[in-house]
Amino acid sequence: MAENLGHEPGSSTISGTPLVEMRDMSISFGGIKAVDHVSVDLYPGEVVGLLGHNGAGKSTLIKILSGAYRRDAGEIFIDGQKADIHNPRDAKRYGIETIYQTLALADNVDAAANLFLGRELRTAWGTLDDVAMEAAAREVMHRLNPNFKKFKDPVRALSGGQRQSVAIARAIYFNARIIIMDEPTAALGPQETQQVAELTKKLKDEGIGIFLISHDIHDVFDLADRVAVMKNGQLVGTARTSDVTKDEVLGMIILGKCPKGAKPGPGAMASEEAA
């Protein structure tokens, strides 16, 4: 049935079953349609940039996928199988990890406790194995941020970049297959932004599918294989980054105008208006 919909012309070069397929997702809050019949998909080893203004519904859409929100309508398929995602635990079971814009760290506990939050390592006695967790944290943090030393401090005491490293470490440590990054570089300096870009490429090479969410096209365009643009809760359209220019994508974001290289969605401006 996925073939019949055929709503993704750009995906023809990446064959096989999509890793994630979100179909006709809708959610409203108090009568406001935050996400309105949006369909997007993601293939293994692919980076899909999810773009749009603040308030376009990007974060809300991915929060449905990560289990933070419950959708009103629509279906999610993982590997072509219908997925039941009702809470963050369900999402993690499907190998979906999320780096939230707010980082979603418990400020009062240390890096290892945050890294393993909800999935603590335990000893044979069922107690927390803090030493093993610290060891694992040291290893993964060393790869991401070799200068990181503050393993005993609550993450409150860390810099923006260090906190970001902790959030990223948490997403990649548990063998994720799908990673959602919500404005991952918002709090970072140029060097750290570059590190995140390199990490994204590395993860992509490992066959992980990545949703990269941003309101800034420059963060995303060079990294993404495809972009999906949202406006007012609706999908303006999707496009392969090789088929469109940055300016055209900007037009999608700002005006909702779908260029030739893109596949228009329900939120696209009617073509006569665009002309």
Partner 1 sequence: MSTSSDIKPAASAQPSTQPRSIIQALEIDTRMLGMIAALLVIWVGFDIFSGGNFLTPRNLWNLSVQTASIAVMSTGMVLIIVTRNIDLSVGSVLGVTGMIMAVFQASYLTQTLGFNHPLVWIATLLAGMFIGLLIGALQGFIVAFMGVPAFIVTLGGLLVWRGAAWWVAQGKTIPLTDDNFKLIGGGANGAIGETWSWILAAIAVALVLLATVNARRQRKRFQFPLKPMWAEIVTVGLASGAIIAATWVVNAYTLPPALARRFAKEQGIAIPEGGLEISFGYAVPVLVAVGVGIVMTFLAKRTRFGRYVFAIGGNPEAAALAGVDTRKITVYVFALMGMLAAIAAAISTARLTSATNAQGTLDELYTIAAAVIGGTSLAGGAGTIAGAMLGAAVMQSLQTGMVLMGLDSPLQNIVVGIVLVLAVFIDTLYRKRAG
Q: How far is the CB of 168 from partner 1 (least distance, A)?
A: 11
Q: Which of 5, 32, 73, 131 binds partner 1 (CB under 8 A)?
A: 131
Indicate the residue among 82 and 142 with the shorter CB distance to partner 1. 142
Q: How far is 260 from 10, CA to CA, in rounded Å?
A: 12
Least spacing, CB of residue 226 vs partner 1, in Å = 22
First to last CA, the chain: 35
Count how many residues are written for the chain: 275
Exactly one of 79, 120, 243, 248 binds partner 1 (CB under 8 A); that residue is 120
Burial 88-117 (b: 16+ CB within 10 A, else e): beebbebbbbbbbbebbbeeeebbbbbbbe
Cα distances (Å, whole numbers) of residue 264 to 23, 43, 268: 15, 19, 6
Here the tokens at position 21 are 């397929």
Which residue's CB is nearer to partner 1, number 72 or number 120? 120
Per-residue mark of binding to partner 1, 79-108 (x: CB under 8 A): --------xxx--x-----x-x-xxxxxxx
Q: At closest approach, how far in Å is the CB of 81 from partner 1?
A: 21
Distance CA 26, CA 115 (A): 31
For 106, the 3-state DSSP assignment is: coil
Nearer to partner 1, 119 or 273 (CB): 119
Residue 10, SS3 per DSSP: helix
Q: How many Å separate Cα 222 from the centre of its chain?
A: 16
Instruction: Count residues near partner 1 (CB under 8 A).
Output: 49
Chain residues 214-273 in contact with partner 1, contact rule CB under 8 A: none
Binding of residue 176 to partner 1 (CB under 8 A):
yes
- Rounded CA gap, 270 and 256, in Å? 9
CB of 158 to partner 1, least distance (A): 11
Q: With contact defined as beta carbons under 8 Å apart, do 42 and 20 qualify?
A: yes
**Footprint on residues 9-68 left by partner 1 (CB under 8 A):** 66, 68
Specify the stretch interacting with partner 1 by CB under 8 A; choose among 203-211, 214-222, 245-253, 265-273.
Answer: 203-211
Rule CB under 8 A: which residues touch partner 1?
66, 68, 87-89, 92, 98, 100, 102-109, 113, 117-120, 122, 126-128, 131-132, 134-136, 138-143, 146, 148, 154, 156-157, 170, 172-173, 175-176, 203, 206, 208
